[in-house]
Amino acid sequence: MKRKFVFLVAAVAVLEMIAAISCSGVDSKQEDQGKDTIRYGTTGQYPPFSYYRDGKVSGFSPYLTEIIFNRGGYDVEHIIDDWDTIYKGLVNGSIDMAGLVSVSDESKKEVFFSKPLFTTSISIYARHDSEKYRIDNLKDLKVGVMTSYYTREILDNIMGTEQYHGYKDLGAMISDLESGRIDVIFENQQLIDNYLIMEGKKGQIRAVRTNLYPTEMAYAVSIENSELLDFINMRIDGLVKSGIFEELYMSYFYSHSDEYVRSRNMRIGLFAIAVLLIVFVGVFTMDRTIKMLRKKIEKDRISSPFTGLYNASKLLPDLDRMVERGEEFYINVIKCNNLEAISKYIDNKVVKKIVEQIIKSFKREFSEIELYSINFDEFIFHYRESSRGNTSDRVKKWVEEMSLPVKIEDYSFRIQMKTGIFHYQGGKSSGMEILNKARIATDNGDLHESGIFYYDSVSEKKGRLFHEVSADLSDAIKRNEFFLVYQPVIDINQNEISGAEVLLRWDRGKRENVGPGIFVDIAERIGLVKEISKWVIESNFDQTSIWRDKGLKIRSAVNLTSTEILDDDFRAWVKDIIDEKGYDRNDYTIELTERMLSGNNKRLKDVLTGLREMGYRVAIDDFGTGYNSLLTIGEIPFDIIKIDKYFIDRLEEPEIMTIVKHIIHTAHELGGKVVAEGVERREQLHILRRMDCDLYQGFYFSRPLLPEDFVDYCKDFDIGRYCRG
């Protein structure tokens, strides 16, 4: 009797574990944590752990952090810097937490760690035709490693600090390996494998040693803020229990991850134990139980716990089989661009309802097509050439319908949906490479634009250009390749040039010309934007000082990112220069786009308010294209609103005219001024004047000018030239 009781207790315990694994909801019983700000440190460009996208840091680690804290009643302030600086911040308490980072006994003396989330390892990578190197002969080789990463510390212990090549840019390190500048790469397996697959370089570069120096990855928490530790661990438990953690892990690391395989094997082990226990107590027959459990194991393996759709474990083998059979097909990736941002500020149940509504609508319209999901905001399907025309038209219509506003519970949403399409026409490709080409296609078009976009030679060119530009950017300042141009801002009522927007240009000599919209974005992604912005600010200060000495006083506006504005050291650096040179802060305007203020970023708004109180002017650029509405304009700290060119181009349309008129009126009511950007025709100017717009900027008045040409423009300026007729 006693033995039977012990086995019954064990069976209950195992079944409870199984239930925990398959549970579909996050524990909603959370204590009210207030609306505190968490200062979260991350190193930036280490995909898929973290990377820059669209002017902000993204990736597995930052997104997991947002899920943990935003839905727990906190705001998260992202602090992006090298690891040494972040670690010092953890130790002195200026940074609350960082991650994900490797857990080490040495670090445990100075910071706390959350419970481990997974284990990762290091591999040695070489060109495909290289020999199989040993660990003990690394000292004789030229070794590449990423700086600001835990692998550098391990390499320090092996080789000493002077014998390896440190890189800030992953693409540059891979290029040096391919060209022979270095012999091997000593780096994190998930980091390099992800990059090689995304870039289609698995055939050129291979891992010659794998699974070295396994280490646990966790959040590092400052001892000064140790009270966060219990909250973080509680949220991790909830996300693991609900299946959301596995869904997120899958979306970034996919099924090639060793950890994912181990977690699946562990689940199989639990079910195997359950089978033995259940058989022992005589609940089911052996055959029936094994069949049921095998079916459940297989279903769990190939299904997303959040969406219920097939996941990458089913999709990638399906694509591989189609390639092997020589089939020609189209693969579509549907990306809900703003669903991730929305999900940070609403309950998980509402997000699930949005996703369910998207899936239900798709299945109703395309009942003959299998739908897969890799992430909760990303869906995939494929179809054959014979059905292409009809299917493409239907997809376009469906995307347009899904982009209309939807109402769920007390929320109203407009999902920005983009579809990337790759046409596979044969040739040697893996399922992952085919999938990634469709995903790359979603990067075409504007970030916040819905529509259908195709993978083509332009997409390939973008990838090559990224690596070329990122390799050149770090030396562009040293080579004196950057220069500034100034676009006048006109005050018609005062018959004067009110100021100028400072714009950065890059003279690459005989190399391909690259516009600021491309190279500034790349600079943000690889962590060089602060260095470049400092050059812009200093150069502009020098130029306006020269003009001032000649009797020309011009207010100038410089574009900055939210990362720079939130950086205490960066703001202090600007303040020191202005104070040292005796400049008037009111002569300088800080411009940032409206999208940077999305998501009720209280910390950013507080900093902008402080800057205005110190005497700086704040301009909100591209107004009307972000997430804010006219109803929330009063919450934005500003001196100037710059209406986006999108609205100026469509000014003759009655609806657009009404919106622009309302923006101008509301800005005036709040004591601000309005700049119309992108004015190119006299008709636009006349309409805007009737609306009482204050300031004007665009090619109708002048293109961006070199400093000496700008001086000539100011001398010859006559407003009558533009306002006659």
* pLDDT exceeds 50 at position 1: no
Mean pLDDT of all residues in 678-707: 94
Looking at the chain, the whole-number percentage of residues with pLDDT higher than 90 is 22
631-647 burial, b for 16+ CB within 10 Å, e for fewer? eebeebbbbbbbbbbeb
pLDDT at 490: 94
What is the CB-side half-sphere exposure of residue 35 using CA atoms within 13 A? Answer: 5
Answer for the pair 207, 125: CB distance below 8 angstroms, yes or no: yes
Q: Is the pLDDT of residue 99 over 60?
A: yes
Q: β-strand 482-491 against 496-506: which pairing, if any?
A: antiparallel
Q: Is the pLDDT of residue 369 over 70?
A: yes
- CA 46 – CA 190 distance, rounded (Å): 10
Helices (H) and strands (E) in the chain, counts: 26, 26
- Take residue 244 and report the two structure tokens written for it: 């959301």
Q: Provide mean pLDDT across the span 42-51.
A: 77
pLDDT class of 332 with cuts at 50, 70, 90: very high
Helix (H, G, I), strand (E, B) or coil at 174: helix
Segment among 43-47, 519-523, 611-615, 643-647 with least mean pLDDT: 43-47
Give the pLDDT band of residue 282 (cuts 50, 70, 90).
low
**Of 216, 703, 255, 720, which Cα lies nearest the Cα of 503?**
703
Take residue 404 and report the two structure tokens written for it. 């209309």
Question: Measured over all CA atoms, what is the biggest interatomic distance in the chain, rounded to whole angstroms?
Answer: 104
Choose between 307 and 135: higher pLDDT. Answer: 307
| Span 695-701, average pLDDT | 95
CB atoms within 10 A of CB 577: 14
* Token pair 């040695």 in the structure block, residue: 124
Question: When comparing pLDDT for 664 and 432, which is higher?
Answer: 664
For residue 14, pLDDT over 50 is answered with: no
**pLDDT score recorded for residue 279:** 53
Residues 442 and 436: beta-carbon distance below 8 Å: no
* pLDDT at residue 262 in the model: 47
Report the C-alpha gap between 108 and 254 in whole angstroms: 30
Position 451 pLDDT exceeds 70: yes
Please tell me the predicted confidence (pLDDT) of residue 296.
66
Q: Averaged over 241-263, what is the pLDDT?
A: 61
- pLDDT average, residue stretch 265-274: 59
| Whole-number Å distance between alpha carbons of 561 and 596 | 8
Highest mean pLDDT among 69-83, 333-347, 430-444, 616-630: 430-444
pLDDT at 66 over 70: yes
Rounded Cα–Cα distance for residues 340 and 525 (Å): 19
DSSP track, 209-229: EEEEEEEEEEEEEEGGGTTHH
Ramachandran angles phi, psi of 222, nearest 5°: -65, 140
- Which pLDDT does position 4 carry in this prediction? 37
Nearest-angstrom CA–CA distance, 352 and 372: 16
Residue 402 pLDDT grade (very low, low, confident, very high; cuts 50, 70, 90): confident
Instruction: Please give the pLDDT value at position 137.
Output: 67
pLDDT at position 568 over 80:
yes
Task: Supply the pTM of this predicted model.
Answer: 0.50
Averaged confidence pLDDT in the chain:
79
| Structural domains of the chain, ranges and CATH numbers in brackets | 2-116+218-300 (3.40.190.10), 118-215 (3.40.190.10), 305-455 (3.30.70.270), 464-719 (3.20.20.450)
User: What is the model's pLDDT at position 448?
Assistant: 47
Determine the pLDDT at residue 225. 80
Q: Which two tokens stand for residue 672?
A: 């601000």
| Res. 9 pLDDT band, cuts 50 70 90 | very low
C-alpha closest to that of 187 among 85, 47, 42, 41: 47
Provide mean pLDDT across the span 642-658.
90
Report the pLDDT value the prediction gives residue 216, as an integer from 0 to 100.
85
Which pLDDT score is estimated for 631?
46
Residue identified by tokens 């990059």 is 195
Lookup: tokens for 138: 């690394």
Q: Residue 364: pLDDT above 80?
A: yes
Give per-residue pLDDT as tens, 285-318. Answer: 556 655 665 666 667 778 887 788 998 888 989 9
Name the helix (H) or strand (E) containing 185.
strand 184-188
255 vs 363, more confident: 363
- Listed ranges 13-17, 31-35, 457-461, 653-657; the one with the highest mean pLDDT: 653-657
Question: Can you tell me the mean pLDDT for 491-506?
Answer: 93
Residue 240 C-beta-side C-alpha neighbours within 13 Å: 14
Give 562-589 as a DSSP string: HHHHH-HHHHHHHHHHHHHHT--GGGEE
pLDDT at 34: 45
For the chain, what is the radius of gyration of the CA atoms?
28
User: For 363-436, where are the E strands, in sequence order?
Assistant: 372-375, 378-384, 406-408, 411-413, 417-424
Percent with pLDDT over 70 in the chain? 78
| Closest alpha carbon to 307 in 383, 403, 243, 382 | 243
pLDDT (average), residues 415-429: 87
Residue 322 predicted with pLDDT over 90? yes
| Range among 82-86, 91-95, 500-504, 639-643 rated most confident | 500-504
Cβ atoms of residues 621 and 559 within 8 Å: yes
Q: How far apart are CA 306 and CA 303, in angstroms?
A: 9
**Average pLDDT estimate for 17-44:** 53
Statement: residue 561 has pLDDT above 60: yes
18 compared with 212, residue with greater pLDDT: 212
Q: Which of 94-103, 505-514, 665-674 has the highest mean pLDDT?
A: 665-674
User: Cis link prior to 305 (omega < 30° from 0)?
Assistant: no
Higher pLDDT: 712 or 603? It is: 712
Average pLDDT over residues 7-15: 36
Distance from first CA to last CA of the chain, Å, rounded?
103
Locate tokens 């727990």: which residue? Answer: 72
Q: Which one, of 568, 569, 559, lies nearest residue 596 by Cα?
A: 559
* 125 close to 192: Cβ distance less than 8 angstroms: yes
H, E, C per residue of 288-313? HHHHHHHHHHHHHHHECCCCCCECHH
Residue 449 pLDDT? 56
pLDDT in tens, 175-211: 889 888 888 999 988 888 888 877 777 778 888 888 7
Choose the weakest-confidence range: 15-19, 91-95, 188-192, 542-546: 15-19
Given a cut of 90, is residue 77 above it in pLDDT?
no
Compare 334 and 139 and report the one with higher pLDDT. Answer: 334
Q: Phi, psi at residue 335, to the nearest 5°? A: -115, 120
CA 167 to each of CA 159, 304, 371, 558, 721: distance values in angstroms, whole numbers, following the listed order: 16, 36, 40, 30, 54
- CB atoms near residue 108 (< 10 Å): 11
Residue 526 identity (one-letter amino acid): I
Burial of 585 (0-12, 13-18, 19+ CB in 10 A): middle
Distance (Å) of CA 345 to CA 60, 218, 341, 352, 440: 18, 24, 8, 13, 27
Alpha-carbon span 30 to 105, nearest angstrom? 32
Q: What is the number of residues in the chain?
A: 725
pLDDT band at 711 (very low <50, low <70, confident <90, very high): very high
- The two three-digit tokens of residue 561, written as one number: 């990112």
Instruction: Identify the weakest region by mean pLDDT among 39-48, 349-358, 658-667.
Output: 39-48
pLDDT digits (tens, 9 = 90+) for 543-558: 999 999 888 999 999 9
Distance CA 492, CA 494 (A): 5
